[in-house]
Amino acid sequence: MLKGNLSEFPLGTLIQTLAAAGRSGSLLISPPWLSGRVVLLGGSLYAAYAGDKRGWQAMELLAGLREAPFAFDADRPPPAEGNVNLPLETALARLLAVMERWDKYQNIPTDWSLSVQLARKTGELKLTPAMLQVLGLVGGRSIAEVLEQAGTTPVDTAAALNDLLAEGVLQISTPAGMADVELVALSFYGKQTGLAFIDEALFDEWRRLLARPFLLRVRSPRGVEAQFEAQSRPEITGRIMLNDRDLRRLRAGRGIKLLVKPEIKGAGG
């Protein structure tokens, strides 16, 4: 049985290879959060399933997976009826175009089991119908569930989700139980803004717990908050070091206690 991972064999290349060999069988794609199946019959694309999606929408959803184990089962019989009614060349061209769109959505993490939630963001943003669909689904749902359950196509849903994450309207949820930490502000000077240095022990602990790249959300006593790239620094236990200009934007200064919490980065953050 042919086995591998989509991180090494992208879906479009994989299907193209199997089709060129005239293969029949089921390509089973199995990330922890989704069950996917692409059926080939005599080298033609016959059917596709991904969670609750069927047909071409299932193909669109599977096209967004950057990493997932797969196995090709040549002995599994095809379903009685197909649901991808496209010539192979047309289907492959559309699939590659969809995958190119997915490649642009770098704010969506590779791990779709993560949940998304509303962020504390003020300001105006023109919402599209797809964005409204996404906003109606967030709150305890995983990225995979949002992509599956939205009424728009998976790739349009992904575009909306990506933009909402980029604009700070939504954020990736951190694991439960990770409370804000109160750290005393230190300052440094120079051109490097947008960076926050925390003690290396705290940095290593958060990196271990999150197991993913993270940012720091910092909130001042006056309620002003911002996100920063996280960096570790030895021997600053209980303190956080920010550029003086960033401290002033937070309406804070040296010696002020700031609330700090890690937030998981998007894949392209």
Query: Domain residue spans in the chain?
Result: 2-103, 116-172, 181-264
**Quick one: tokens of 149?**
């359950």
Return the C-alpha torsion angle 35, 113, 136, 260, nearest 10.
-170
Q: Which helix (H) or strand (E) holds 92?
A: helix 88-103
- 170-172 and 116-118 as β-strands: parallel, antiparallel, unpaired? antiparallel
pLDDT value at position 120? 65
Q: Which residues contact 90 (CB under 8 A, 6 or more apart)?
A: none
pLDDT value at position 268? 39
pLDDT value at position 179? 72
Distance CA 154, CA 48 (A): 14
| pLDDT digits (tens), the chain, 269 positions | 789 999 999 999 999 999 999 999 999 999 999 999 999 999 999 999 999 999 999 999 999 999 999 999 999 999 999 999 889 999 999 999 999 999 999 889 888 988 888 876 655 778 899 999 999 998 878 999 999 999 999 999 999 999 998 888 888 877 655 678 999 999 999 989 999 999 999 998 888 777 778 899 999 999 999 999 999 999 999 999 999 999 999 999 999 999 998 988 764 34
Tell which residue, 29, 34, 151, 172, has the closest CA to residue 108.
172
| pTM over cut 0.75 | no
Q: Into which CATH architecture does domain 181-264 fall?
A: Beta Barrel (2.40)
- Give the three-class secondary structure for 7: coil
DSSP letters spanning 215-261: EEEEE-TTS-EEEEEEEEETT-TTEEEEEHHHHHHTT--TT-EEEEE
DSSP letters spanning 169-230: SEEEPPPTT---EEEEEEEE-SS--SEEEEEHHHHHHHHHHH-S-EEEEEE-TTS-EEEEEE
pLDDT value at position 106? 87
- Give the three-class secondary structure for 4: strand
